[in-house]
Amino acid sequence: MKNKTDDEELMSKYLLGDLSEDDRLQVEERFLRDPAYLEQLQALEAELNDDYVRGELTAREREQFAQRSSASPEWRRRVGFAKALITGDESATATTAPAKVSPAPPPRWRSLLPQLRLPKPALTWALAAAFLVMSAAGSWLVLETSRLRAQLEQMQAERKAGEQQAQALRQQAAEQRARNDQLAAQLQREQDQQRQWLAEAGRPQPHLLSFILAPGLGRGADESTKLLVPPEVQTVRLRLYLEGAGEYQSYRAELHTSADKLIWSRDRLRAQPIRTGKAVVLSLPASLLTTGEYEVRLKGAVSREQIEEIGDYFFSVSKK
């Protein structure tokens, strides 16, 4: 045979059965995973057939060739075909190996070729199913990642909105406390002034008391909502502070007892300017008020048909 590379020398020994078990397994493993290597092995087999027919093999190689080919009718047929092409003798296609040569098992790679060339349907379906499962898993992971990212972004947006709302509420509460403190201070000054007038000797007793009330303060929540009304007072004037209320055509005020009994009401009231903003002023007969707790419910008229709730004003009365 012609000079061979190391791979070709290894393949030739494999075809002739002249390799150790480890080397033989190495060759078989390689052509199982390398189609080009398998094609090279098949080409070398055809060349080995031609060399055998031409008598170009050594004595030892011819003996090994005869032992290997005698075990495979298909191999003997290809040897005969090669001989017919070279010598022109068509009867050579039936050539067999010498009868005295004991048959040897065919190379293992021949038994593996059908599996390499024609994959079993079960294997094909298994591979297809595995590919589909992997594709579906990959798609699911992409969708799940997108869904979790969207949820995280939504949670972050909601948390940010909640923080902004909480900050706005804290600011509104601080502004509300400041306004209430301002109104309470003004009311305290007026009450102190009223008490001073009453305490001064020789001064005529006033017949009018004036108080300012802020909305939302609960029953008995603040000393500023406790009104001391002397017996000689004939009129109690309540100024209901309008805290952020919109513009209305007119106002309606209703006075209720702690038992929710309506004892006085007035329509078509107007807002009047005071030092700290605007207020609706009520003039109540002092005789209407006895010792106890009261609530003024203020409403605003947007139109003749549309009335809106504005706020509730609580106060208590103590008479001497």
In Å, how far are 17, 187, 316 from 224, measured between CA atoms? Answer: 115, 7, 10
Q: CA angle, corner 31, sides to 114 and 13, nearest 5? A: 105
What are residue 168's phi and psi, to 5 degrees? -65, -40
> What is the three-class DSSP state of 84?
helix
What are residue 185's phi and psi, to 5 degrees? -65, -40
What's the confidence (pLDDT) of residue 95?
46
Q: Which contiguous run of DSSP H or E holds residue 126?
A: helix 121-199
> Which residues face 251 on adjacent strands?
269, 300
Q: Which long-range contacts (CB under 8 A, 24 or more apart) does 53-57 make?
A: 53/79, 53/82, 53/83, 53/86, 53/87, 54/86, 56/1, 57/1
Q: Is 229 in contact with 315 (CB distance < 8 Å)?
A: no
What are residue 33's phi and psi, to 5 degrees? -110, -5
Please tell me the pTM assigned to this model.
0.40
Residue partners of 42: CB distance under 8 A and separation at least 6: none
Sign of CA dihedral 212, 215, 219, 224: negative
| Closest residue by Cα to residue 298 from 243, 259, 261 | 243
**CA gap 269, 301 in Å, rounded:** 10
Token pair of 269 as six digits:
């009231």
Listed as ranges, residues in the chain with pLDDT below 50 are: 90, 92-103, 112-120, 133, 201-202
**CA gap 172, 218 in Å, rounded:** 18
**CA gap 156, 308 in Å, rounded:** 37
Cβ density class 161-190: b for 16+ within 10 Å, e for less: eeeeeeeeeeeeeeeeeebbeebbebbeeb
| Closest residue by Cα to residue 225 from 204, 241, 205 | 241
> What is the three-class DSSP state of 309?
strand
**CA gap 258, 162 in Å, rounded:** 38
- The domain limits of the chain are 6-118, 202-319
Q: CA angle, corner 178, sides to 176 and 184, nearest 5? A: 100
Give residue for tokens 């609706």. Answer: 280
Q: Is 281 in contact with 237 (CB distance < 8 Å)?
A: yes
Fold adopted by 202-319 = Immunoglobulin-like (2.60.40)
